[in-house]
Structure 1
Amino acid sequence: MEKIDLQYPLVLVHGIVAHDRGGIIDFWGRIPKVLKSYGIDVYLGNTDSWGDYGSNAKLLKQTIDDILAGTNKQKVNIIAHSKGGLDSRYLIWKYNFGEKIASLTTIGTPHHGVDIAELIDKQKIVHSRIAKKALHAFGKIYGDKDPNLYNVNTQLTPKYMKDFNEQVPMDNSVYYQSYYTTMRNSFDDLMFFYLHLFTKIKNGSNDGVVTKKSADWGENVFEIKGGISHAEILDIKKKKISGIEIPEIYVDIVQCLSKKGF
């Protein structure tokens, strides 16, 4: 197997629900192991599953600072899934991290919000003090350091993301690229059957959570074909999807970053 010459370490940053602090579920599936077999220096972001982008950016900052100190490298590459892409964008802007991030690749990231978050936000019960306390307690049980499910849902609404995009611009020193997937129909992944159907009726093609339009951000936008869902792109099922080995998608992404000198 030919090694891939990636100049900077790679950090994988997950989104909501997922975590990378151990447990019975490998939310990145076989991806880290396969990338390491190509000689890639792979690290995990160590962010909260239910942390808002402010608190997660702070956790990610510490992770990256530790990686840079331990490897004597000046920068890292980030591949982020779902809300992890927003956490990473905020990190770069909030902490002026452009000089430490060579590239940010987002996959299925809701850059323009998600419809289900808007629907949840319209429910009065969600805004009650009891609901907020219950959501916080759930996040703690889940293993988060600083969970805030209420803020997370608010931040993922299209209205909120419109303000986010105006406030958090791209950093000219970072290479950005966005990838998206779409389910061909609601039966592609039964876990997302109703969410896909609801989102498709409201805003068109989607991966079961994030629409094509929401994931489309920046000048470098690419589609991952094959009817792959929002969770399947993480290789959570550890098997071929539509004949595609999911880890190889990440290998291709890393190869392209390598060719660009990152």
Structure 2
Amino acid sequence: MHRKSVLFIAVLVTALWGMGSSAHAAQNTRYPVVLAHGMGASAEILGLVDYWWGIPAALERAGVEVYVTSVNGMDSTEAKAVDFRNQVLEILAASGAAKVNIIGHSHGTLYSRYAITHLGLAPFVASHTSIAGPHQGSAMADLIMYGIPGSLHGLVGGALDLVYAWVFGDTNPDTLGNGWSLTTDFMQNVFNPNTPNIGGIYYQSWAAKAKWAAPSVVLQVPWLIMLTQEGANDGLVGVESAKWGNFRGVEQAAWYSAGCDHINIIGHFFGATPGFDASTFYKDIVADLKNRGF
């Protein structure tokens, strides 16, 4: 090959590589990023598996100051919010930052909203990013909470509380409180009217969608049920329910993939998310926050 052609190709490849990677370089934001996990888990599930699979490490490699909070897997929105608020205040004290950028997934989007509106966290929050959050409630929560006979609520809730206390390490868990707080009537008629967005904070959201099957096998049946109740969904949360603040779109993975479900959106199972790169998704979110001055 002619020497000039080789040189041209080398320059072109370098330029294209730079274009492809520029969005993910030097993403350090003005304020630290705080991750808030969803229900049924903690930052480290059973002390072994990271909830945010590979995402914090990917953000740190991109130059982001990131913190991971951990609250009870099963508890009321209010109780989780108190714990979350306290951890954010500790992060602010340790980092010296004036504010934080919150990124929540699932129930993490709700208890962080509660902490902002009701627990005095608002002055310390620059942005709130919601990933697959059930802001209008979840039909699955309705089916579970209203489907179980009232006489069995105490028995089932008590049994699950024991599991989450002894196996998952929750402190005084409240499974029933967690379940009721995600029902559609509670979210739409109680929580949302009493938990408005706070001026001066940038709120944005994304939804996830399984297209023709749930990539995570455990969500296949819930996804099918949700299709009949809410239409497009990620296996646990409907696309319409996930919209809050500035809605940024629906993540549904590459064309060849079954889609992006409620578990894929945080990088599970264990990084096996065909057609969807969770680390890149979150790096893009943070890069955008940086560009917006947060």
1:176 equivalent to 2:203? Answer yes
> Which letter maps to 2:155?
I
Q: Does the residue aligned with 1:214 lie in a helix, a strand or coil?
A: coil
Deviations along 1:56-97, one digit per CA (max 9) or x if unpaired, are 111111111111111111101111000000010000011132
CA contact (8 A) 2:161 2:173 kept: yes
**1:165-205: CA deviations, max 9, x gaps?**
11100001211001011000225332111100000011100
The 2-side partners of 1:70 and 1:59 are apart by: 17
Return the offset for 1:125.
Answer: 4.9
Partner of 2:37: 14
The aligned amino acid for 1:155 is: S
Q: Which residue of 2 aligns with 1:2?
A: 25
Pick aligned residue for 1:105 from 129, 151, 154? 129
The verdict on how the C-alpha distance between 1:239 and 1:21 changes in structure 2, with shifts beyond 3 A counting, is closer
1:147 corresponds to 2:179: no
Tell me which of 101, 109, 117 is aligned to 1:93. 117
> What is the distance in 2 between the residues matched to 1:229 and 1:199?
12
Say yes or no: does 1:241 pair with 2:273: yes
Deviations 1:150-174 (A, max 9, x none): 0111111000001111110000121
Partner of 2:237: 210
The equivalent of 2:264 in structure 1 is 232
Q: Which residue of the other structure, out of 139, 156, 160, is the alignment partner of 1:135?
A: 160
Letter in 2 for 1:3: A
For residues 64-75 of structure 1, what are the structure 2 equivalents within 5 Å? 64-75=88-99
Unaligned runs of 5+ in 1: none
- Rounded Cα–Cα distance in structure 2 between residues aligned with 1:126 and 1:176: 40
Say if 1:118 and 1:97 are closer, same or farther in 2 by CA, change over 3 A. Answer: same
**Which residue identity does 2:265 align to in structure 1?**
I
Aligned alpha-carbon RMSD (Å)? 1.6
Following the alignment from structure 1 to structure 2, what is the Cα–Cα distance between the partners of residues 126 and 114? 23
Partner in structure 1 of residue 246 of structure 2: 219
Structure 2 residue 287 is the aligned partner of structure 1 residue 255:
yes
Structure 1 counterpart of 2:137, which letter?
G
Q: Give the fraction of aligned pairs with identical amino acids, expressed as a percent.
A: 30
Determine helix, strand or coil for the equivalent of 1:179: strand
Cα pair 2:135 2:241 within 8 Å, conserved? yes
- Alpha-carbon shift at residue 242 of structure 1 (Å): 3.6
Q: Distance in 1 between matches of 2:211 and 2:239?
A: 12
The whole-number CA distance in structure 2 between the counterparts of 1:185 and 1:192 is: 12
Maintained 8 Å contact 2:130/2:244: no
Partner of 2:78: 54
Where does structure 2 lack aligned partners over 5 or more consecutive residues?
A: 1-23, 254-258
Q: Normalising by structure 2, report the TM-score.
A: 0.85
Q: Deviations over 1:44-66 (max 9, x none)?
A: 11211112111111111111111
Quick one: structure 1 residues 121 and 238, their matched pair in 2 at CA, closer, same or farther if it must change by over 3 Å? closer
Moved over 6 A (4+): none
